[in-house]
């Protein structure tokens, strides 16, 4: 449970950085941002694996680049679900997905949740 909350906080930090850097991403307050981080974690845990399997041929065809679109769609779904978090358009979602993914990756390293990669 604490790992999930830590991931949610890092997702919220990624969304905050995306909102700071991008015009097309915004939130009303810090509570909305934290809720968006938690909802994004739940959506990624439940819906993303299903969509990943369904879109696997397209992901293979695009050499993995479709995963950016899939991540953007997850962020846009969260924005659609929450009135205090907004994403304007697919490209804002794609850029937000890149930023949030990088921050979440750094967070996984910090909390020791990243997979060990052999040299």
pTM, two decimals, is 0.86
Residues near 8 by beta carbon (within 8 Å), at least 6 away in sequence: 34, 37, 38, 40, 41
Q: Over the stretch 5-53, which tens digit does the pLDDT of each residue have? A: 888 899 999 999 999 999 999 999 999 999 999 999 999 889 989 999 9
pLDDT at 115 over 80: no
Q: Tokens for 64? A: 């993995």
Q: Over the stretch 76-106, which tens digit does the pLDDT of each residue have? A: 999 999 999 999 999 999 999 999 999 999 9
Question: What span, in angstroms and rounded, lies between the C-alpha atoms of 72 and 61?
Answer: 18
Question: What span, in angstroms and rounded, lies between the C-alpha atoms of 96 and 111?
Answer: 22
Locate the domains of the chain by residue range. 2-110
Q: Tokens for 37? A: 């981080």
């Amino acid at each position: 449970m604490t790992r999930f909350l830590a991931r949610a906080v890092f997702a919220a930090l990624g969304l905050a950085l995306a909102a700071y850097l991008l015009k097309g991403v915004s939130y009303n307050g810090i509570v909305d941002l934290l809720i968006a981080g938690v909802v994004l974690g739940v959506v990624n845990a439940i819906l993303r694996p299903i969509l990943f399997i369904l879109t696997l041929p397209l992901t293979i065809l695009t050499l993995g680049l479709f995963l950016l679109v899939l991540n953007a769609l997850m962020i846009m779904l969260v924005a659609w679900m929450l009135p205090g978090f907004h994403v304007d358009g697919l490209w804002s979602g794609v850029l937000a997905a890149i930023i949030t993914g990088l921050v979440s990756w750094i967070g996984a390293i910090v909390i020791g949740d990243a997979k060990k990669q052999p040299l």
